[in-house]
Structures are given as structure tokens and as C-alpha cells.
């Protein structure tokens, strides 16, 4: 058991446990915080895969913006979103069976792929520069890059419109 | 990877030190709670009603506009790192991206989403 | 490798051989050495805060034409120690109905969010781990401080704390956008996100390249820290100490320490990004000298921060938000576009030619922005006519849709 494997197992256990607590805890703020732990766990997994940029981008966007936004909403609408009773629904045996089947299917699929047993490729030093070049090169991802900016513009317009009508209603 | 190991250890240390201070404060300070002391502070008055805050759309809008800009700027970082290896049209593409988001800022501004009223 | 030319290297080698001699494996030795190095940096930085508290109180006192602490020890130097001992022995009053785990996690996350920054700041040449995404990492850990504030405000079970926490987070989040945009400019000029790389690329300091970016970064960081003049959300006369109303004793001290440490860390980051970090005469051959240079530069920026704090009055909340969204962000965007376009053409020239052309562009942008603001203010002022009735105070008329052509006609 190498050190990397131990760290990976620890991170995986923490992430899965946090994800489980997100859906089972009755307190909304606690759920948001368990979500933060889950997201940080995913960022650590990115680091283990040598994707440093993705790891910090994950923390910056998910923890720094999305989790904050969620907590704003929860705190500001507390009146309507009080803590309810136990969060596990009545159908949980069926859901558990489905989840186990799905998990088994994914494991079988991954194992039958020949890539799964191959050693990880070496990540070049210039990974981020390569990513930047790929984002703007015509044979690369320039169209998705520019479309992403249009998408962000559209998202902002939509959000402002929805909030504006709410404010003036 | 070594750099991240150091950063990870440092993160653990930076969580440990304030926790140590907090524990020190709990141990060294007296602990004599009584109902008046632990009551909610409201400038010397009794609190009336539940603890809740009036939902103002402004707070939410600021966080939302910040989210859009945050995602934009994260996209720009790899572009900035690869900047010196890019031909001119690479620079132009980045500038187009920034201009789109400047348009988003102008829209939010004109619609009054950035007012604190 | 003499002890002066590579002090940390020599000490690290000696320790490593010692630990290996005790029979520990390579990996464990590395971990222990990193732990020791990290602990040294963290403890150094936290003890430095004690000096900063004294310095700030003395300086603010002098700015306000009074002496500042001068009783405890010579020149009041032992004052922070006295304060620290006092606050350690005060009771931590946990409010009733507070969410206990969150109540303690708030200040811990906030302090951790500032300490974590010191993992990536290059203190000396050739020393310290070179994280290749360090610039974005500084933004990422800012998110934890924001989270800490929200938790503190929520778990205090107090309306004022909650409102203040939400407003403080709205302020912090608004000022994070110009910070990240201004941070993009040194990354662009250096071609790397690593802070070591940015320092090494600064043969000419980046403040010569982009003084406007430095100003934007500094102002936005000070506002994100919540220092005066942007401390509306936590000032005592405003919302009764804000999100840390219900915190007393050591947990309040953690907030206080985090505040001061953040102020100094802003200085250190600005020094690394714009003032050349550890660069200075003789720094390459004597790394300790580089450390001294960095500390001096960071302290200079911190001094400017304290100076501003003691001099400028607090801004109003709508002025606060407008300053970020309607001034800093557009200027940062314009600067980014112009820097990107300009650098493509001048990159091949010598270091100073490149620096001066960027400086020229910055000056042009700054003058254009100031001119525009002047013009905008004139337009707004002409829309408000000051009318003086005999025997009464002049009152501003409500703004009219059309600008009055003839001032004498309007005053009659």
C-alpha cells in the first residue's frame, strides 16, 4: 500500500461520508457545510491526479462562490426552510438496491476497459500553458471557450431578470 | 506533488493553530454561564420574535454576479499563463471573452442589479 | 554550500541526515521536515502579529496626535503581551441557542484562511515549495475566510450578527472580483501562476509596469479584509461590532489576530506580485537578505494601509459597493485588455522599454478615467441646481430630465 493509495482511500472515505451526510442531515446549514467538505474532498482527488489547476478552480468556484451562494439563500429564507424530521424517505430499500446495481454496473464497465489497468501518464510541466493554448487554438477548444462566455452572459441576464421581476413585484 | 504535500501539511497546521488557541481559551478562561450572560445581545433589550432576516434580493444578486465573474476569471487564468506562446488571434480571442463579460457587467449595471437600495 | 549562501539548504540537509540516521524512511523524513518548516513559518508569522498590533496602535495614535500605548514596558512594547494574557483568561461566553460546532468553526476557518496564504509566499530565493497554481490558490483560500464569517454570523443566533455577516460577505465577495482581475495582470506579464516564477520574472518590478493594477489590487484587498475605510460592516458605531458580537475571550482574539495578519499578508502578497518580492541587491547570493527585503517591502505596504486607516473617514455602504462594481471592476477589465494587447507587441523589446511602454499605457488609462469621472460629476452637478430663496438655506431641486440651459433663468 503506497502512500498515495492510503491518502486516496482516506480522501474517498471522507468524501463519501460527507456526501451521505449532505442528504441525511436535517439541518440545512449543516447540509451545506457537509457539501463544502465533499467539494474539498473532490479537490484533493484532483490534486492526487496531478490536476492542480482543476483543484484550485474547484475550490475557487465551488467553495468560494457556489457554496456561499447556497448558504446565503438558506440563511435568508430560513423562515420557510425550517429543519424537518428525519430525511430518509420511506422508499429507501428500493433506492439502495438501485444504487448498488448502478455501482456494480459502473465497476464492471471500468474493469472491462483496458485503460483502467494502465499506469498514469506523466503530466507535463507546462500543463497549464498547454491548457491555455488549447483553449484558444482553432483546432482546440476556442468555440466552446467563446460559447462559454456567451453562456455566462445569458446566465447573468436570466438571473438579473428573474430577480428584477421579484424585486418589482 | 511535493509542493502539494507541503501545502497540505501547512493547511493542516493552519487549522491546528487557531483550534489550539480556541482550546487554550476554553481551558484558561472561567466557565460560569448564567441565563443573563448567555442571552442574545440586542443593545440591552429583550429579543422579540424569531431570529430571521428580511430577504433582500440585493444580497443574492451580488453573490450571483460575483459567481459569473468568478467563473469567467478562472477561464482566463490558463489563457494568461499561455499568453506569451499565443499568436495574435489567441490574444484577440481572449479579449473577445473579456468584452462579452464586460457586456454582462454593463447589463447588470443598467438593470440596477448592482444597486444597494 | 556555505551557511550564509544557502542557510535553509544547509540546515535541511543536516536535519535530513540526522533523521535518516535514526532509521526513518525517506518519505517520513520528508513529511517531518515539511512539518517543521511549516511550523516555523506559521509560528513566525503569528508572533509577528503581536508586534504588528503594537505598531498599529502606536501609529494610529500618532496620526491622531496622541501617544498610543506607552505604559506597559518601554514605549508600550509589552502592551500586546498584556492584552494577550488578559484575553486568554476571559470567559468564552457561548450564547444560548448557538450552534456549538459552527460557533467554533467560524473563527478557526477565518484564521486558517489567512494562515494558509503563507504556504505559497516565496520568502527567500531557492527556498520553499513552488506551487504551480499559487496565484489562484491565494483566491481559493480567501473563500474559506468568507465561509468562516458566514458561519460565525449564523451560529451566534443573533439578528445583528446574521445581518452583519451577510453584508460583510456581500462586501467581501464584491471586492474579490477586482482582486482576481488585478491579480491576472502579473500572471499575464510573467507567464506563470507560480509566485516564485512571478518574483523571478520581475527584473523590473511590476509596479513600474502596471501601477494601476497595484492600486486596484491593494484597494480591493484592503476592502476585502474589511479594514477602514471599508469597515462599515464591523464598526462599533454601525452595527454593534457586526458578526463577532457574541464572541468574547480567546475566540474573539482569533478574529482580531486574523484581521491584523490579513492586513500584513496583503502587504506581503502585494510585495511579491508587484514590488519584486525578495529581489534586491545581493539577494541571490545571500538568501537571508532576500527575506529581509521582502519583509521590508511587505511592511511598507502595510504601513500605507495603516496610514489610510487612520486618515480617511469610513465610506457609506452604497458608496462601498459602487466603488467595487462600478469603478474598480471596469477599470480592471479595461486595463487587462489593454495590457494583453500591448504586451503582445512590446514583449520582444528590452526589459525597461517594455516596462516603460506599459507604464505609459497605465498613465494614459488613469488620466482618461479621472477625466471621465470629472466630466461625469459635472454632468451630475449641472442636473442638480442649488436654489437659494431669500432668508432660507439653499436646497437642491429634484433632478430634472433636461439640463437647464440658462442658470439665471433657473434661479429666478
pLDDT band at C43 (very low <50, low <70, confident <90, very high): very high
Please give the residue of chain A at the shortest CA–CA distance from B64. Answer: A69
**Predicted TM-score of the model (pTM):** 0.89
Has residue C402 been placed in a domain? no
Has residue A107 been placed in a domain? no
Has residue A109 been placed in a domain? no
Chain B CB contacts of A64 below 8 Å:
70
Task: Read off the DSSP letter of residue C74.
Answer: G
Question: Which of A62-71, A72-81, C249-258, C314-323 is predicted with the least confidence, judged by mean pLDDT?
Answer: A72-81
- Residues 6+ away with beta carbon under 8 Å from C170: B58, B59, B62, B63, C321
Cross-chain residue pair A72–C169, CB shorter than 8 Å: yes
- Distance CA(C227)–CA(C307), nearest Å, equals 11
In which residue are the cell numbers 437659494 written?
C388
pLDDT band at C75 (very low <50, low <70, confident <90, very high): confident
Query: Which residues 41-80 on chain B approach chain C with CB closer than 8 angstroms?
Result: 41-43, 47, 51-53, 58-59, 62-63, 65-66, 69-70, 73-74, 76-77, 80
Residue C277 has pLDDT above 50, yes or no: yes
φ, ψ for residue A11 (rounded to 5)? -60, -40
Cross-chain residue pair B78–A79, CB shorter than 8 Å: no
- Distance CA(C131)–CA(C121), nearest Å, equals 10
Has residue A105 been placed in a domain? no
* Whether residues A16 and A78 fall in one domain: yes
Top-ranked range on mean pLDDT: pick from B25-29, C127-131, C324-328, C399-403: C324-328
In tens, the pLDDT along C199-209 reads 988 888 999 99
Has residue C306 been placed in a domain? yes
| Count of domains for chain A | 2
Nearest CB partner across the interface for C27, out of A3, A57, A72: A3
Has residue C56 been placed in a domain? no
Chain B touching partners, 3 or more CB pairs below 8 A: A, C
* Whether residues A132 and A75 fall in one domain: no
In tens, the pLDDT along C86-108 reads 888 888 888 877 778 888 899 99
* Whether residues A69 and A133 fall in one domain: no
Where in the sequence is the domain holding A33, given as residue range(s)?
1-82
| Residue after which a domain boundary falls, among A53, A82, A111 | A82
**Percent residues over pLDDT 90 in chain A:** 45
* pLDDT the model gives residue A119: 72
* pLDDT the model gives residue C412: 43
Where in the sequence is the domain holding C225, given as residue range(s)?
94-380
Cross-chain residue pair A145–B77, CB shorter than 8 Å: no
Confirm or reject contact between B20 and chain C (CB < 8 A): no
The pLDDT mean for chain A works out to: 86
Query: Which residues 163-202 on chain C approach chain A with CB closer than 8 angstroms?
Result: 166, 169, 173, 176, 191, 193
- CB distance C87 to C252 below 8 Å: yes
Query: Which CATH number covers residue A35?
Result: 1.20.120.1200
Has residue A63 been placed in a domain? yes
Residue C1 has pLDDT above 50, yes or no: no
Coil, helix or strand at residue A153: helix
- In chain B the domains, ranked by start, together with CATH numbers, are 2-110 (1.20.58.1610)
**What is the arithmetic mean of pLDDT over B76-86?**
92
How far off is chain A from C355, nearest CA to CA, in Å? 23
In tens, the pLDDT along C333-355 reads 999 999 999 998 888 888 888 88
> C363-366 long-range CB contacts below 8 Å, 24 or more apart?
C365/C212, C365/C331, C365/C334, C365/C335, C365/C338, C366/C211, C366/C212
Nine-digit cell string for B60:
443574492
Nine-digit cell string for A130:
498547454
In tens, the pLDDT along B3-25 reads 899 999 999 999 999 999 888 88
The Cβ-side half-sphere exposure at A168, using a 13 Å CA radius, reads: 8
pLDDT band at C83 (very low <50, low <70, confident <90, very high): confident
| Count of domains for chain C | 1
Cross-chain residue pair C333–B51, CB shorter than 8 Å: no
In tens, the pLDDT along A102-130 reads 999 999 988 888 776 667 777 787 888 88
**What is the arithmetic mean of pLDDT over C256-266?**
91
* pLDDT the model gives residue C159: 77
Chain A touching partners, 3 or more CB pairs below 8 A: B, C
How many Å separate Cα C257 from the centre of its chain?
14
- Distance CA(B116)–CA(C323), nearest Å, equals 12
Please give the residue of chain B at the shortest CA–CA distance from C326. Answer: B109
Amino acid at each position: 500500500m503506497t502512500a498515495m493509495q492510503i491518502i486516496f482511500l482516506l480522501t474517498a472515505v471522507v468524501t463519501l461520508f460527507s456526501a451521505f451526510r449532505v442528504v441525511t442531515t436535517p439541518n440545512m446549514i449543516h447540509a451545506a457545510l457537509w457539501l463544502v467538505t465533499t467539494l474539498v474532498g473532490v479537490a484533493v482527488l484532483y490534486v492526487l491526479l496531478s490536476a492542480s489547476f482543476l483543484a484550485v478552480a474547484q475550490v475557487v468556484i465551488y467553495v468560494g462562490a457556489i457554496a456561499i451562494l447556497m448558504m446565503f439563500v438558506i440563511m435568508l429564507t430560513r423562515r420557510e426552510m425550517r429543519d424537518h424530521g428525519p430525511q430518509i424517505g420511506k422508499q429507501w430499500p428500493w433506492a439502495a438496491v438501485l444504487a448498488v446495481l448502478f455501482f456494480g454496473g459502473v465497476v464492471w464497465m471500468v474493469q472491462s476497459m483496458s485503460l483502467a489497468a494502465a499506469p498514469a501518464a506523466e503530466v507535463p510541466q507546462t500543463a497549464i500553458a498547454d491548457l491555455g493554448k488549447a483553449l484558444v487554438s482553432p483546432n482546440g477548444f476556442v468555440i466552446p471557450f467563446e460559447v462559454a462566455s456567451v453562456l455566462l452572459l445569458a446566465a447573468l441576464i436570466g438571473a438579473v431578470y428573474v430577480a428584477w421581476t421579484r424585486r418589482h413585484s | 506533488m511535493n509542493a502539494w504535500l507541503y501545502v497540505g501539511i501547512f493547511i493542516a497546521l493552519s487549522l491546528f493553530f487557531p483550534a489550539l488557541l480556541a482550546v487554550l481559551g476554553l481551558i484558561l478562561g472561567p466557565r460560569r454561564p448564567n441565563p443573563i450572560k448567555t442571552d442574545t445581545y440586542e443593545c440591552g433589550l429583550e429579543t422579540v420574535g424569531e431570529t430571521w432576516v428580511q430577504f433582500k434580493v440585493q444580497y443574492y444578486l451580488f453573490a450571483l454576479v460575483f459567481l459569473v465573474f468568478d467563473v469567467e476569471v478562472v477561464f482566463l487564468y490558463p489563457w494568461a499563463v499561455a499568453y506569451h506562446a499565443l499568436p495574435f488571434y489567441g490574444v484577440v480571442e481572449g479579449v473577445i471573452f473579456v468584452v462579452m463579460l464586460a457586456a454582462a457587467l454593463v447589463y447588470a449595471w443598467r438593470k440596477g442589479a448592482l444597486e444597494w437600495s | 554550500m556555505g551557511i550564509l549562501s544557502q542557510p535553509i539548504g544547509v540546515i535541511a540537509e543536516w536535519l535530513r541526515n540526522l533523521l535518516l540516521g535514526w532509521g526513518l524512511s525517506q518519505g517520513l523524513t520528508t513529511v517531518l521536515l515539511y512539518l517543521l518548516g511549516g511550523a516555523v513559518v506559521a509560528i513566525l508569522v503569528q508572533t509577528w502579529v503581536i508586534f504588528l498590533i503594537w505598531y498599529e496602535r502606536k501609529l494610529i495614535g500618532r496620526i491622531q496626535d496622541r501617544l498610543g500605548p506607552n505604559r506597559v514596558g518601554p514605549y508600550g512594547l509589552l502592551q500586546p503581551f498584556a492584552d494577550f494574557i488578559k484575553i486568554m483568561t476571559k470567559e468564552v461566553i457561548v450564547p444560548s441557542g448557538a450552534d456549538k460546532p459552527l460557533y467554533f468553526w467560524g473563527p478557526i476557518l477565518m484564521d486558517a484562511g489567512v494562515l494558509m496564504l503563507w504556504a505559497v509566499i516565496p520568502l527567500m530565493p531557492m527556498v520553499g515549495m513552488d506551487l504551480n497554481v499559487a496565484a489562484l490558490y491565494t483566491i481559493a483560500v480567501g473563500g474559506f475566510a468568507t465561509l468562516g464569517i458566514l458561519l460565525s454570523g449564523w451560529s451566534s443566533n443573533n439578528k445583528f450578527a446574521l445581518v452583519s455577516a451577510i453584508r460583510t460577505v456581500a462586501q467581501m465577495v464584491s471586492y474579490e472580483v477586482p482582486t482576481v482581475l488585478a491579480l491576472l495582470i502579473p500572471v499575464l506579464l510573467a507567464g506563470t501562476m507560480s509566485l516564485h516564477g512571478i518574483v523571478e520574472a520581475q527584473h523590473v518590478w511590476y509596479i513600474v509596469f502596471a501601477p494601476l493594477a497595484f492600486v486596484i489590487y491593494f484597494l480591493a484587498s484592503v476592502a476585502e479584509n474589511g479594514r477602514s475605510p471599508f469597515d462599515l460592516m464591523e464598526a462599533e458605531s454601525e452595527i454593534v461590532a457586526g458578526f463577532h458580537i457574541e464572541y468574547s475571550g480567546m475566540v474573539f482574539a482569533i478574529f482580531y489576530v486574523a484581521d491584523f495578519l490579513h492586513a500584513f499578508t496583503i502587504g506581503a502578497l502585494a510585495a511579491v506580485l508587484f514590488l519584486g518580492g525578495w529581489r534586491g541587491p545581493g539577494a541571490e547570493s545571500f538568501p537571508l537578505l532576500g527575506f529581509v527585503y521582502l519583509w521590508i517591502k511587505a511592511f511598507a505596504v502595510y504601513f500605507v494601509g495603516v496610514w489610510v486607516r487612520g486618515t480617511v473617514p469610513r465610506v457609506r455602504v452604497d458608496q462601498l459597493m459602487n466603488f467595487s462594481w462600478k469603478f474598480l471592476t471596469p477599470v480592471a477589465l479595461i486595463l487587462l485588455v489593454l495590457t494583453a494587447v500591448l504586451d503582445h507587441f512590446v514583449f520582444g523589446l528590452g526589459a525597461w522599454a517594455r516596462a516603460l511602454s506599459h507604464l505609459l499605457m497605465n498613465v494614459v488609462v488613469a488620466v482618461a478615467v479621472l477625466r471621465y469621472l470629472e466630466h461625469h460629476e459635472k454632468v451630475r452637478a449641472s442636473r442638480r441646481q442649488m436654489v437659494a430663496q431669500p432668508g432660507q438655506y439653499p436646497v437642491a431641486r429634484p433632478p430634472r430630465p433636461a439640463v437647464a440651459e440658462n442658470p439665471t433663468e433657473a434661479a429666478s
